[in-house]
A and B are shown apart, each in its own frame.
Chain A
Amino acid sequence: MIYDEFSPSRTRRTLNLGGRTLRALGLDGPLTGVLAIVVCFGILVVYSASGLNVKMVEHHLGNIVIAVAAMIALAKFATPHYLRLFAPIAYVIGILLLIVVDVTGHVGKGAQRWLDVGFVRFQPSEIMKLAVPMICAWYMHERPLPPTFKDLLVMGLLIAIPTAMIARQPDLGTALLIAASGLIVMLLAGMQLRIIVISIPLLATAAVAAWHFIHDYQRQRILTFLKPENDPLGTGYHIIQSQIAIGSGGLFGKGYMMGSQAQLEFLPERSTDFIFAVIGEEFGLLPCLVLLVLYGVIIGRALYLAMQGQDTFSRLTGGAIALSFFVYVFVNSGMVSGILPVVGVPLPMISYGGTSMVTLLAGFGILMSLHSHRKLIGS
């Protein structure tokens, strides 16, 4: 028998080949690698969380294929120049679609969010998750940093219009996330500290005012979040059951596909918004912490790539994509573990559902394109 000898040179060649392929596609090796790990882990979790539903896993895989294709396409072809030109177009299209949804939108889960364009149903608000930070970055691109007060007002308006429209749908969670993505651009652009300090009491006042305008169910969510045990079978049910799932998982978990909370459907939305609780229940604390570390690596790498951007648009867009991703991770894990209110945000790269997956990977595609299409010599 002949045994192949382990050949370091061969390994290196393979690595080089992989690296070259990635570079040719405009992808960043470390970021792509970690994303791939998380997505693959997500497939495993979705299989368990769906109650061992093979159909759902197939659908999930299909979503991943579409999302990866979108990421590669954007990374390869969307040069910073085109992206900058496209930013206002995307924003305007997004606004128009929101109007369409408002007028004719389908009613999904009691809220008008979905748009049916024949072969696919999607939420125009998802476009805004990328379009809003891009329009802000686009606006600041030609202007010197830090932004003037007037710049902040303009950006504030650009953010406020889609935010208000989405909040009216009503989808407060997404509206807040979109506002956050725009705000991130303002902060990264160098928004002065004193303005930040001054705006805190203003925001507090606005929050109190908003209390009177939001829907009853949203108010209920906040109240339930503060005291979930008051309504254990109603709105508090989600939070209580997800904490039971995570807590009962313990250090080592109940075992893959053996979580009683998830498998016996005590955990609501187990394959979408509350999938993090399935991980906590079935795998235990350590994999959860590893997952958080992986998310941290993704965010860190993304910020690093953004920092290397050669112009304001690239840097701000990249930074906003990186930090928005963090916001999703934090809001979802915070909600599921009971330190934030329940807002319908899926766990990035893991939750079942195509829209989120496509938007996130498209974002990373843009980020990587901005990085890979750098000019070698600064202008």
Chain B
Amino acid sequence: MVRRVRIKDHWGEQRIFTIRSVVAAVVVGVLLLTVAFRLFYLQVLKHDYYAELSQGNRVRTDPIPPSRGLIFDRHGVVLAENLPAFQLELVREQVGGLPELDAALGKLVAIGLLDAEDVGSTKRTILSHHVYESVPIKLQLDDEEMARFAVHRYEFTGVDIRTRLSRHYPFGPIAVHALGYVAAISEQDLKHIDSVAYAGTTLIGKLGVEGAYENQLHGTPGYREVLVNAAGRPVERQGAFTPKLNVRQPIAGADLILSLDMRVQRAAEDALAGKRGAAIAIDPHTGDVIALASTPGFDPNAFARGLTSKQFAVLQNDIDKPLINRALRGAYPPGSTVKPFYAMAALKYGVMTPEQTIFCPGHFSLPGSRNVFRDWKPKGHGVVAMRHAIMQSCDVYFYTVANKLGIDRMHDFMSIFGFGEVTGIDIPGEKPGLMPSTDWKRHAYKRAAEQVWFPGETISVGIGQGYMLATPMQLAHAVSAIASRGEIYKPRLVAAVRAAGSNTLTQRPVEPEPTLTAVTRDQWQVVVDGMELATGPGGTAAAATAGSPYKIAGKTGSAQVFTIAQGEKYHEKDLNERLLDHALFISFAPAEDPKLAVAVFVENGKHGGSTAAPIARKMFDAYLLPDKAPAVDKLPPLGKLL
């Protein structure tokens, strides 16, 4: 077999190569054109899109938190201010990964700057921020804590002390239930606040004025554009180029001028010290809340400093419930303080005339009923007309009035004074209390048997017991309507607002509610007379008002905590202190031209006349006789504001 020998054909081979090379060159040209088109697509057609992406890449907008608005009392006394505080902060990016973060938090626990129980929540807060953000770990360090951190500082990377403005309340616990407080923004807060507006802010208002006026107080954050590299670290320039970066300064929050008068507030809190109770003073011609005290209170500075969960638990589990605002949230039977209102109702509906008398034997029974309603005075008051019934707080008189009025008329009349509904004061958390009616009972109960209103239930409501509940705030609101003879205003704590950087106050207009015209001038006077008699010789509050240069009109009350069985007697000394009657006092002064209406409530204070009325007296003195007012530590820096 002959093997085929292939002979090289040089011309042919060169031709093959040339053809192939030309084809290759064409392919090269086409593919390079493809790349060229792709570049055209990216750089011309999609240029705007990518330009925006690249801008977003390189510029990070860092927030500058605004400084929180200040809070003053009506004379310009500073109630809440911002002071620089040393704050322990952590930047996750600089700490490292999760193991390093855990280690850092562990070391903080070891040197006592973090509570072991708070490690979990602290870590969650840190992880909910960007890696490059500085997250506060401990809000206000004291000198000793600063020193302790300084010693161990070399052991930490990414954890350091920074100066920030923090909230400070010069009066500590005084007026805390009116002011509220600020605390670190919690995970729950983050759900309902605008995260953009709060970027960079550490504290948020809770309760009271701080909570209700959060939007005005907080202000508008500014921002600073920062050039960042891919790692998120701020850099000075970009290659040879320093771009122009925008800065917008923050706008501080508005300052609030409260209607509170610190002298009266101070007097109320001093008088309430050691008691559980509430005292509210209202200017009857504007609705301005002059004092709003609830004791025991707590130090709001502790919240601004940041409470450990242990410290918070102690406050929350305190048997005296210092966190509860008794003035707004304590709904108690108002007791005899309702009697002036029912007297007025009796006049308005014509079921009694001022001079009409009844005989009080010390007890009352409905016709055909064996159920006995006792008077507080077992021997009875004898023959009494309206003025003396108020003066002596005769129960039997008002049992009779209640029986004549009927529950629904009582309900309708009391509703005008705001019983059974919130007063609408400009801080949150108010409870509506309860002003019962047949309608209410039909809706409140499920079983038909329970929905029936019994006549006996009306009798109890007639002396502010039974189903009836009112908050101290409602009592103050209602008594100020008597003081003003029918002018009713929505109570308010914030009287004026001063915008950041401005020197002019914007007064908030008073909010009048429909004036009570159904009661005539003479009818008002009958009730006011009764209340003046009550504070005079032989009245229930005589002792507390003795020697005052102005006339106080008032009505005491005590409300049962402990139900006494039929036929049993009430012995104060046998009862546990917390089962004693609550003491109440509503009042205004001067009686003929009232400037201030006051409601005082003392839990388990036994008698309105001996416990509650002296507190009111101190408040009146502070307001009407400024010389006698307790000194207010901080002198007004701005002079008289209101």
B238 touches A258 (CB 8 A): yes
A88: interface (CB < 8 Å): no
B625 within 8 A of A: no
Interface residues as binary, B35-72 with A (CB distance below 8 Å gives 1, 0 otherwise):
11011101110110111011101100000000000000
Q: Are B44 and A250 in contact (CB under 8 A)?
A: yes
**Contact between A52 and B239, CB atoms less than 8 A apart:** yes
Distance (Å) between the CB of B179 and the closest chain A CB?
Answer: 46
**B519 interface residue, CB < 8 Å from A?**
no
Residues in A whose Cβ lies below 8 Å from that of B51: 247-248, 250
Q: Which of A118-126, A168-176, A296-304 contacts B (4 or more CB under 8 A)?
A: A296-304
Chain A residues with Cβ under 8 A from B21's Cβ? Answer: 188, 303, 306-307, 319
Among A247, A292, A333, A339, the residue within 8 A (CB) of B43 is A247
* B18 interfacial by beta-carbon distance below 8 Å: yes
Cross-chain contact of A263 among B9, B36, B241 (Cβ < 8 A): B241
* Docked-complex contact A260 and B32, CB < 8 angstroms: no
Instruction: Report B-chain residues with C-beta under 8 Å of the C-beta of A144.
Output: 6-9, 13
Q: Contact: A264 with B58, CB < 8 Å?
A: yes
- Which A residues from 315 to 362 make CB contacts under 8 A with B? 315-316, 319, 323, 326, 329-330, 333-334, 337-339
Beyond A52-B239, A303-B21, is A261–B14 a contact (Cβ under 8 Å)?
no
Residues on the A chain within 8 Å of B10, using CB: 378
The residues of A that contact B42 with a CB separation of less than 8 Å are: 243, 246-247, 280, 337-338
B residues in contact with A244, CB < 8 Å: 50, 53-54, 57
The answer to whether A285 and B39 have CB atoms under 8 Å apart is: yes
Using known A-B contacts A258-B240, A263-B239, determine if residue A337 contacts B28 with beta carbons closer than 8 Å: no
B 197-241 to A, binary, CB cutoff 8 A, 1 in contact else 0: 000000000000000000000000000000111110001001111
Q: Is A259 an interface residue (CB 8 A)?
A: yes
Contact status A265-B28, CB under 8 Å: no
When C-beta atoms are compared, the residue in chain A nearest to B51 turns out to be A248
- Report the minimal beta-carbon distance from B277 to chain A, rounded to whole angstroms: 59
A323 CB, min distance to chain B CBs, angstroms: 6
User: A145 near B54 (CB under 8 angstroms)?
Assistant: no
Beyond A144-B6, A255-B241, whether A266 also contacts B43 by CB under 8 A is: no
Q: Compute how far the CA of A303 lies from the CA of B24 in the bound complex, rounded to whole angstroms.
A: 9
Contact A330 B44 (CB under 8 A): no
- Bound-complex Cα distance A285 to B42 (A): 9
| In the complex, chain B residues whose CB is within 8 Å of the CB of A145 | 8, 12-13, 16-17
- CB within 8 Å: A-B pair count: 169
B314 to chain A, nearest CB (A): 45
User: Chain B, 173-194, contact with A by CB distance < 8 Å: what is the 0/1 string?
Assistant: 0000000000000000000000
Let me know if A260 and B58 touch, CB within 8 A. Answer: yes
Using A190-B20, A280-B39, A333-B35 as known contacts, say yes or no to A261 and B6 having CB atoms under 8 A apart.
no
Q: How far is the CA of A258 from the CA of B244 in the complex (A)?
A: 13
Residue among B13, B32, B50, B238 making CB contact with A246, cutoff 8 Å: B50
- A337 engages B24 (CB within 8 Å): no
Chain B residues with CB under 8 Å of A248's CB are 47, 50-51, 53-55
CA distance A241 to B56 in the complex (A): 12
Q: How far is the CB of B130 from chain A (nearest CB, A)?
A: 14
Known: A261-B57, A296-B29. A243 touches B43 (CB 8 A): no
Q: Which of A227-243 contact B (CB under 8 A)?
A: 241, 243
* B121 interface residue (CB < 8 Å to A): no
A346–B231 Cα distance when bound, in Å, is 24
Q: B24 to A339, Cβ gap below 8 A?
A: no
Which of B21, B47, B57: most chain A Cβ within 10 A?
A: B21
Q: How far is the CB of B558 from chain A (nearest CB, A)?
A: 70
User: In the complex, A248→B59 CA distance in Å?
Assistant: 14
Q: Select which of A266, A300, A337 is within 8 A of B35 by beta carbon.
A: A337
Assess A251 versus B35: contact at CB under 8 Å? Given A263-B238, A312-B13: no
Q: Is the CB of B39 within 8 A of A307?
A: no
Q: How many residues of chain B get a CB closer than 8 Å to chain A's CBs?
A: 49
Closest-CB distance, A261 to chain B (whole angstroms)? 6
Residues of B within 8 A of A303 (CB): 21, 24-25
A146 is an interface residue with CB less than 8 A from chain B: yes
A143 to B7 Cα, complex, angstroms: 9
Q: Interface residues of B: mostly helix, strand, loop or mixed?
A: helix
> A330 contacts B12, CB within 8 Å?
no
Q: Are A250 and B47 in contact (CB under 8 A)?
A: yes
**Does A262 belong to the interface (CB within 8 Å)?**
yes
Give the distance to chain A from B586, nearest Cβ to Cβ, in Å.
67
For chain B, residues 401 to 458, give those with C-beta under 8 angstroms from any C-beta of chain A.
none
Q: How extensive is the interface on chain A, given as a class? A: 35 or more
Determine if B7 and A245 form an interchain contact, defined as CB atoms under 8 angstroms apart.
no
**How many angstroms between the C-alpha atoms of A173 and B267 in the bound complex?**
85
Query: Given A285-B44, A295-B32, are A243 and B50 also a contact pair (CB < 8 Å)?
Result: yes
B77-123 residues at the A interface, CB under 8 angstroms: none
The CB with the most chain A CB atoms within 10 A, among B9, B12, B24, B29, is that of B24
Instruction: Tell me the bound Cα distance from A262 to B58 in angstroms.
Output: 10
**A19 sits at the interface (CB 8 A):** no
Q: Judge if B31 is at the interface, Cβ distance under 8 Å.
A: yes
| Residue with the highest number of chain A CB atoms closer than 10 Å, among B35, B227, B243 | B35
Check A51 for interface membership: any CB of B closer than 8 A: yes
* Residues 5-20 of A at the B interface (beta carbon under 8 Å): none
Give the complex CA separation of A258 and B238 in angstroms.
6
Q: How far is the CB of B25 from chain A (nearest CB, A)?
A: 6
- Contact between chains at B54 and A292 (CB < 8 Å): no
Rounded to whole angstroms, the CA-CA distance of A259 and B36 in the bound complex is 21
Contacts of B249 in A (CB 8 A): none
Q: Which chain B residues lie closer than 8 Å to A101 at the CB level?
A: none
B34 contacts partner chain A, Cβ-Cβ < 8 Å: yes
Q: Are A260 and B24 in contact (CB under 8 A)?
A: no
Chain A residues with Cβ below 8 Å from B31 are 326, 330
Distance of A296 Cα from B231 Cα, bound (Å): 38
In the assembled complex, how far is the CB of residue A148 from the closest CB belonging to chain B, in whole angstroms? 8
Specify which chain A residues have a CB less than 8 angstroms from the CB of B54 in the assembled complex.
Answer: 244-245, 247-248, 260-261, 266, 281
CB neighbours (8 Å) of A187 from chain B are 20, 24
Chain B residues within an 8 Å CB radius of A188: 17, 20-21, 24
A51-B239, A244-B53 known; A284+B43 contact, CB < 8 A? yes
> How far is B56's CA from A261's CA once the two chains are assembled, in angstroms?
11
List CB contacts (< 8 Å) of A44-62 with chain B.
Answer: 48, 51-52
Q: Contact at B25–A190, with CB atoms within 8 Å?
A: no
Centre residue among B32, B42, B235, B238 by max chain A CB count within 10 A: B42
Which of B9, B36, B46 lies in contact with A292, CB distance below 8 A? B36
Chain A: CB-nearest residue to B53: A244
Report chain B residues within 8 Å CB of A312. 13
Taken residue by residue from 140 to 154, chain A's Cβ proximity to chain B (1 for < 8 Å, 0 otherwise) reads as: 000111100000000
A247 — nearest CB in chain B belongs to which residue?
B50
CA distance A329 to B35 in the complex (A): 10
Q: Check if B239 sits within 8 Å of A330, measured CB to CB.
A: no
Distance of B15 from chain A, by nearest CB (Å): 9
- Residues of A contacting B38 with CB < 8 Å? 334, 337-339
Residues of A within 8 A of B14 (CB): 315
- A288: CB under 8 A from chain B? yes
Check: A368 CB closer than 8 A to any chain B CB: no
A249 at the interface (CB under 8 A from B): yes
Chain B CB within 8 A of A257 CB = yes
Q: How far is the CB of B47 from chain A (nearest CB, A)?
A: 4
**Shortest Cβ gap from B29 to chain A (Å):** 7
6 contacting pairs across A/B (C-beta < 8 A)? A145-B12, A145-B13, A246-B50, A258-B240, A260-B57, A378-B10
A-binding residues in B (CB < 8 A): 6-10, 12-14, 16-18, 20-21, 24-25, 28-29, 31-32, 34-36, 38-40, 42-44, 46-47, 49-51, 53-55, 57-58, 227-231, 235, 238-241, 243
Instruction: Kindly list 15 other residue pairs between chains A and B, CB separation below 8 angstroms, not including A265-B230, A319-B21.
Output: A144-B7, A144-B8, A188-B21, A189-B16, A243-B42, A244-B50, A245-B54, A247-B46, A247-B49, A247-B51, A251-B44, A257-B241, A307-B18, A307-B21, A330-B32
Task: Return the 6 tightest CB-CB contacts between A and B, nearest first.
Answer: A247-B50, A263-B239, A248-B54, A257-B240, A258-B241, A190-B16
